[in-house]
Amino acid sequence: MNPAEFSSKAKDNPAKYIEHTLLKAETSVSDIIGLCEEAVEYGFANVCIAPCYVAQAFRLLDRTDVAVATVVGFPLGNQTTEAKVFETRQALELGADEIDMVIRIGAALTADFDTVLEDVRRVVLAAETAAVKVIIETCLFDDAAKRRLAQVVVKSGAEYIKTSTGFSGSGATARDVRLLVNAVSAKVGVKAAGGIRDWPTCQALLDAGATRIGTSSGVAIMQQWWQSQGL
């Protein structure tokens, strides 16, 4: 039975929450082709890839239900706001549907939340109708700062707050997802990312309230989910 047949039998197929991600430096063109083929086959929400592959992914996924997401200011967030705005506009011109941006982490660590807000807000404006997911790198902040950053994201007009880049100290935890879900009060979605490699971890994050899952292990997660459903 192929993935499309599975999806017709599934009560709540997790594939629709999964962003099929490949952001490693050593990624090749053939890797992107394979990623896009898997995304269509399994019915993932999107592929999340580096900006240099957006045009190719757009061509491969045209006329499918799989969106193209890319990253801005990734992975450190230290680019100027002007650079992030340029990256965003260029990504949209190349065919991106969604933007995952990294905040000005240094500003957030010194409680300069006005600078963080302005940085995010300008990317949101540049993105126009494209969904913006704001990466706050939860492992670097205490709970009070995470709540404050959640307020910044809501105020910015972005569509999602995202836990992690996957390139810092640690990734998503169910505790952080619950904290962010409570902090945003359903005003924006919560994307969990970083270190999600199996179905039990994915399930725990979805149960905690995540509305998107960023992972490079989407195929393995789906295979494990099918087994858990007896499919």
pLDDT, tens digit, 9 for 90 and up, residues 26-64: 999 999 999 999 999 999 999 999 999 999 999 999 999
- pLDDT tops 50 at residue 96: yes
What ranges do the domains of the chain cover? 14-229
CA distance 191 to 195: 13
State the pLDDT at residue 231: 76
State the pLDDT at residue 159: 98
Strand 98-102 relative to strand 46-49, pairing: unpaired
Within 10 angstroms of residue 93's Cβ, the number of other Cβ atoms is: 10
State the pLDDT at residue 21: 98
Express each pLDDT in 155-179 by its tens digit. Answer: 999 999 999 999 998 999 999 999 9
In the three-class reduction of DSSP (H, G, I as helix; E, B as strand; rest coil), residue 214 is classed as: strand
Q: How large is the average pLDDT for residues 82-99?
A: 98
CA distance 194 to 140: 13
State the pLDDT at residue 180: 98
Cβ-in-10-Å burial (0-12, 13-18, 19+) of 197 comes to: middle
CA nearest to 131, candidates 101, 103, 155, 102: 101
- pLDDT tops 70 at residue 7: no
CATH placement of domain 14-229: 3.20.20.70
State the pLDDT at residue 11: 56
CA distance 54 to 180: 29
User: Which of 6-15, 120-129, 181-190 is predicted least confidently?
Assistant: 6-15
| Residue 230 backbone class (left: φ over 0; alpha: ψ -120 to 50; beta: rest) | left
Taking the model in full, what pTM does it have?
0.94
CA distance 86 to 110: 26
Express each pLDDT in 118-152 by its tens digit. Answer: 999 999 999 999 999 999 999 999 999 999 999 99
Catalytic residues: 100, 162, 191
Query: Percentage of the chain surpassing pLDDT 90?
Result: 93
Place 212 in a pLDDT band, splitting at 50, 70 and 90. Answer: very high
